[in-house]
A and B are shown apart, each in its own frame.
Chain A
């Protein structure tokens, strides 16, 4: 973990967002317990954590919606507490909900938010057309937003955040509740924005989302940063992929463990007929494992490579799982459980 190192050699102008020791108390509840965070210009940082870990509170403080109890933060070089208006001029915010007026049409929504940004009317009209086109909403531009699908609303919401071409974008769980196709659509849109130079701070509960979009991932839990690094650094830390096998006959457990020992990269666990062990090297490991078991005539009911999930990150880092009570099952995690690997 190198984040303390990054902070100690801090050069202000390199960072679009920098927060130091953010604390937020709601009555007796400490939502944030000293968050340090930097987002280098032009990069995407993913804030990863379960519900209630403090992701949204952090974004709300950085977007000037909440005042921190302690600590300080600068966005685009402006102090969030003292220069709120300057911060607001530099950012776009897309929250967990599609925050558009559902009775106004897509175009009217963009015109309204452009007006509230105090932008020139002609500029707003041109920019609105451009965004509607870009986000594939041109055909629906003159329909009230309430007739839009969930994915369309999120895209309109994102378009509304972009009306003033903000250099910094806060995306608070941008794909929560979306179907897989809309998620991927939104990921593509975000990737394009980043390619154009936008700095993004993204919160998510999904490891695969952080993996897909973020250059750097900050894992938080109980209002504290518990890990920080690139996706591969984090995965290395939590041990990469796991080989998981269900045996036909639990009596062959000991045989299976010894047969697979040369293939796996760490200690194996056995729970009844379920075998699990860390591996490196990706899918070829599966073939080797099947061969090794076959040679010993060990019957296999199920075999697969499991990619690390958010739960694994949390189990490894904190010793408890990520309480994913509200988490809708994304299709990619199913793929991950069955030997798939990108």
Chain B
């Protein structure tokens, strides 16, 4: 049996990027082949916008407007949208959890692991794809927000920073999601385990209510919750209302704290996920 020509040697890192892009491409192509799943992935944050904007609208007072007034409701929508953005990108983690748990159950991970490819590339590609998919989600969300009265008030450059910060956060949580997906015993568990930690994390934050409305100890948790700083930073960058100022360093240096958190979380969870991947056994 003659062996086929193997491509010219590349540095190991070059192959890692090459392999990760192949996996990312396949993951993205696959997600467009399931239009129903894509539709529900897009419709969910839209429903959140409508629910919060019209149900909670006037009930949550934002400093700067007469409570219950039309101005207050409009202000809340300005306040709300970065919260929804933050919550939505946090849910990017669930896609990695479910995707990898499924790949493992179907034996595809076994096949990857028996290939002479870069081993971290499967996770790099999967997390990258799930983060990139958020571009589409954020676009749909931004349009929905615009319709209900949300505006970008602080220039296009700051808005781009805000979106980039959101994507960095999405990429970060996909690593946590990847770790969870490789740790759960089956896809059924992945469906719940993938979501269960995201819900409290997004609600115990300033995403939907001002942090000052929380009881004391929860204020501390919420202040150090990177979702709060992410939402705070995007509010500032979009020029949306931020609620009453607080004494927390994390919220007064929101963008910086968010970036630091992302770096720390990736530094912890990426190696953990890669280790899990190397020893992962098919179920």
Query: Footprint of B on A, CB under 8 Å?
Result: 60, 63-66, 85, 88-89, 91, 93, 95-104, 108, 112-113, 115-120, 123, 127, 144, 160-161, 164-167, 196-198
Contact = CB atoms under 8 A, between A and B. Distances in A.
Interface in B16-69: 18-19, 22-23, 26, 29-31, 33-34
B115 interface: yes
A193 to B, nearest CB: 10
Given A88-B116, A97-B106, A101-B26, A198 B1 contact: yes
Given A93-B111, A103-B30, A198-B1, A118 B281 contact: no
A112 to B, nearest CB: 5
B114 A63 contact: yes
Contacts of B282: 95, 97
A148 to B, nearest CB: 14
Given A116-B19, A118-B15, A91 B4 contact: no
B19 A99 contact: no
Contact of B26 (A60, A63, A108, A164): A108
Contacts of B4: 119-120, 123, 127, 164-165
Given A93-B110, A118-B117, 6 more contacts: A99-B111, A103-B34, A112-B22, A118-B15, A120-B5, A164-B4
A113 B107 contact: no
B115 A108 contact: no
Contacts of B5: 119-120, 123
B117 A65 contact: no
Interface centre among B15, B33, B112 (most CB of A within 10 A): B33
A117 to B, nearest CB: 6
B117 A99 contact: no
Interface SS of A by simple majority: loop
Interface centre among A101, A120, A123 (most CB of B within 10 A): A101
A88 B114 contact: yes
Nearest to A123: B4
B6 A196 contact: no
B151 interface: no
Nearest to A91: B114
A79 to B, nearest CB: 15
B56 to A, nearest CB: 37
Interface residues of B, number: 31
A303 B2 CA distance: 53
A104 B22 contact: no
B29 A99 contact: no
Contacts of A127: 4
A101 B30 contact: yes
A112 B117 CA distance: 12
A117 B26 contact: no
Interface string B170-214: 000000000000000000000000000000000000000000000
Given A119-B4, A119-B7, A96 B107 contact: yes
Contacts of B22: 112, 115-116
21 contacts: A60-B110, A60-B281, A65-B114, A65-B281, A88-B115, A88-B116, A93-B110, A97-B107, A99-B107, A99-B111, A104-B30, A115-B22, A116-B22, A118-B15, A118-B18, A118-B116, A120-B6, A160-B111, A165-B2, A165-B3, A198-B1
B110 A95 contact: yes
B2 A117 contact: no
B108 A89 contact: no
Contact of A197 (B1, B113, B116): B1
Nearest to B122: A116
A141 to B, nearest CB: 15
A105 B30 CA distance: 10
A116 B112 CA distance: 8
A64 B1 contact: no
A104 B25 CA distance: 11
Contacts of B117: 116-118
Contacts of A101: 26, 30, 108
Nearest to A56: B282
Given A120-B5, A165-B2, A165-B4, A144 B115 contact: no
Contacts of B1: 165-167, 196-198
